[in-house]
Structure 1
Amino acid sequence: MIPDLETPFSRFPNTDHSAIERKDQSISAVITERQQQLNAVLQDVSGLESVMDKIKGLHRQLLEEKDKIIQSMNLHKGLVSALWRFPSELLSYIFVHCLPETEHLLPASKLAPMLLTRICRRWREVAARTSDLWCGVIVDVDDEDWQQAAFCYDSWLKRSQDRPLSLALRCFEDDATNLRTLLQPYMNRISSLQIVFVDPVTPELLLDDLPALQELTISTSYHMWRPTIAQSISRLPFTLRSLKVVGPSAFDFDRLSSFNPVWAHLTHVEIALEPFAHTNLQSLRISNASPLRMASLFPDLFNALTLPNLRVLEARYIRPWPHEELKAFLVRSGCPLESLIFGTRVMTTNEQRAEYIILVPSLEVVVDYMRGDYFGYRRLAQQYGIGRRRHVL
């Protein structure tokens, strides 16, 4: 109950100052009484807060007990479920299919494989022993907490056991030494390596001592190529089959092809659109997965290539078709092209196809039946005296 605190002196405005002066003792008594009342209320508040703290502590204990009961109940439910009785080998197989559909995995607690280690003790043990879950990872250097990051990456890579590794490295300035130190125990197991250079750095430390390397992708956003990089690539093992260079470059391909023994062993090459020739390439397939963004690149591609030994050229999903650039490519290359295959979404006219056959008499044009005009093509073939050429549908 709130006490009545009204007094004759608490009315405002109070202009009778003489009355107040005559009753100083009464006012002092009121102040003393209020102090006593305040002390009593503060004591009650303190006691109530103590009780509330005890209630909050009891509430917290009850919530913790509830969580433990639910956890125990779920555990025992799992013991009678078919999933709990799965052999570890089958569980490992399922875990592998939980991985994101990407070659390089992001170490994130809410994504597999890290997520699989947080479900229960058995899942964590099975996931940690499943080496296929830990064979690919994105390594993003963070100098602010490199020691902690290095420990996490090393723990990840150790779980891969003796499996081949596929790594994507994002390298800033002066990070190559840290990355080399981290990867040193695993260099002989790296089969696929992608390096993204964000700043102008020297990547030679990352391109040496890779005896099992099969695929190499180098991405840059600036002109950073120098002879030492070409030399590092030249020292890569003969196991290398795929080389990709993404981004602007001033790469000396003529020099590379002249002294690099690895060049002759490559079966897959993707490079920036700089003029270059490959004397041994016999088959080239071009497929555009991003028609809106990439269509403008194909004229430059044909302008950059010289393939004197090309025998099969296949194109799919390219619109608009770079007709004049292809003709210039055929003339420049002088290649003994045998098959020119137009697949899905490539629109060419009968006249254009006839021009290709005039340029390369050995050519056989293969077109999608739904896209091609067979009878119109035969008419043009006879008109140009090339009726002996077979039009494949």
Structure 2
Amino acid sequence: MVVAVDACDECFGACHGLITTPVRVFTPLVLSQICRLWRQCAHATARLWCSVLIRQGPDPPDLSKKDVRVYPNLLLQTAFLNTYVTRARALPMNLTFQIHQSSDDVDASLDIWRSSMSRCQSLYVNCPDTIWDQLFYSPIELPLLEKLGFAIWQRQIQTPVLLLNSLAMPKLKQLEIALWGVNDTPDGVDWSQLSTLAIHCYI
């Protein structure tokens, strides 16, 4: 039995770094439903739960297309995000958010998303500027964050300068930016601390 547990741990550990949507049909939750031994191993392998993608699918999805992937609602994904954060224990998280429009589910999920970000070593956010403003309307501490990437597009009439002053990122080393309709580079970044920088602006 000890050998079996060790073997499971090695296999599950190989999944570390995979970005997965937190629903029952994706790793690692699916590994938890094979048998009792696998469930015990999966729950005990903290690194298996460190990488999560929160993705807002089309509403409603276009089921006429072949191979269309139907994503669960954001509230369900957010509930599972809490499970991931808990099972990752003290390990840093890698979170990706792909949100294309405001909704009641987005509004209801924002506080949990913000609290989860404090655990991030890597964070990527793809959203319109209105949702970015909702996410970072007040200061947020990101003490572990080493890599930040974001793709922001403008939906407001005005063309603002994107402000990052509300993000405290003392360990930030890598920054990747893609901007649509934002007419200047972000303000509030300590550029001297970066080892890698990529900026793509589309007007």
Partner residue of 2:160? 226
**Residue 112 of structure 2 corresponds to residue 182 of structure 1:** yes
Partner secondary structure for residue 43 of structure 2: helix
Shift of 1:123: 0.5
**Residue 143 of structure 2 corresponds to residue 214 of structure 1:** no
Partner residue of 1:292? none
Deviates more, 1:109-118 or 1:238-247: 109-118
Q: For the residues of structure 1 that align with 2:21 and 2:73, how far apart are their CA atoms? A: 17
Deviation per residue, 1:308-344 (Å, 9 max, x gap): xxxxxxxxxxxxxxxxxxxxxxxxxxxxxxxxxxxxx
Q: Which of the numbers 35, 41, 52 marks the counterpart of 1:137?
A: 52
Q: What percent of counterpart residues are identical?
A: 19
> Cα distance 1:202–1:186, how it changes in 2: closer, same or farther (>3 A)?
closer
The answer to which structure has the higher helix fraction is 1
User: How many equivalent pairs are there?
Assistant: 182
2:200 maps to a residue whose letter is A
Determine if contact 1:223/1:250 at 8 Å carries over to the other structure. no
Shift of 1:202: 4.0
Shift of 1:105: 1.6
Q: How does 1:311-350 map to 2 (within 5 A)?
A: none
> Cα distance 1:222–1:188, how it changes in 2: closer, same or farther (>3 A)?
closer
Q: Which of the numbers 222, 226, 237 marks the counterpart of 2:169?
A: 237
Determine if contact 2:154/2:181 at 8 Å carries over to the other structure. yes
**Residue 5 of structure 2 corresponds to residue 88 of structure 1:** yes
Q: How does 1:65-214 map to 2 (within 5 A)?
A: 84-86=1-3, 88-97=5-14, 99=15, 103-141=18-56, 145-171=73-99, 172-173=101-102, 177-197=107-127, 199-207=128-136, 208-214=140-146
Q: Structure 2 unaligned segments of length 5 or more: list them.
A: 60-71
Partner secondary structure for residue 201 of structure 1: helix
Q: For the residues of structure 2 that align with 1:236 and 1:226, how far apart are their CA atoms? A: 21
Partner secondary structure for residue 244 of structure 1: strand
Q: For the residues of structure 1 that align with 2:164 and 2:77, how far apart are their CA atoms? A: 31
Partner residue of 1:271? 199
2:118 maps to a residue whose letter is N
Q: Structure 1 unaligned segments of length 5 or more: list them.
A: 1-83, 275-393
Determine if contact 1:223/1:248 at 8 Å carries over to the other structure. no
Q: How does 1:241-390 map to 2 (within 5 A)?
A: 241-253=173-185, 256=187, 260=188, 262-273=190-201
Q: How does 1:29-48 map to 2 (within 5 A)?
A: none
> Cα distance 1:103–1:219, how it changes in 2: closer, same or farther (>3 A)?
farther
Shift of 1:145: 4.6
RMSD over aligned Cα atoms: 3.1
The answer to which structure has the higher strand fraction is 2
Shift of 1:261: 5.5
> Cα distance 1:138–1:169, how it changes in 2: closer, same or farther (>3 A)?
same
1:114 maps to a residue whose letter is L
Select the structure with the greater relative contact order (CA < 8 A; seq sep ≥ 6): 2
Determine if contact 1:105/1:136 at 8 Å carries over to the other structure. yes
Q: For the residues of structure 1 that align with 2:26 and 2:77, how far apart are their CA atoms? A: 17
Determine if contact 1:134/1:159 at 8 Å carries over to the other structure. yes
> TM-score, normalised on structure 1?
0.40
2:163 maps to a residue whose letter is A
2:143 maps to a residue whose letter is P
Determine if contact 2:23/2:77 at 8 Å carries over to the other structure. no
Deviation per residue, 1:18-54 (Å, 9 max, x gap): xxxxxxxxxxxxxxxxxxxxxxxxxxxxxxxxxxxxx
Larger Rg: 1
> Cα distance 1:170–1:112, how it changes in 2: closer, same or farther (>3 A)?
same
Partner residue of 1:19? none
Partner secondary structure for residue 156 of structure 1: helix
Q: For the residues of structure 2 that align with 1:119 and 1:247, how far apart are their CA atoms? A: 43
Q: For the residues of structure 2 that align with 1:159 and 1:121, how far apart are their CA atoms? A: 17
Q: For the residues of structure 2 that align with 1:169 and 1:211, how far apart are their CA atoms? A: 19
Q: For the residues of structure 2 that align with 1:242 and 1:176, how far apart are their CA atoms? A: 27
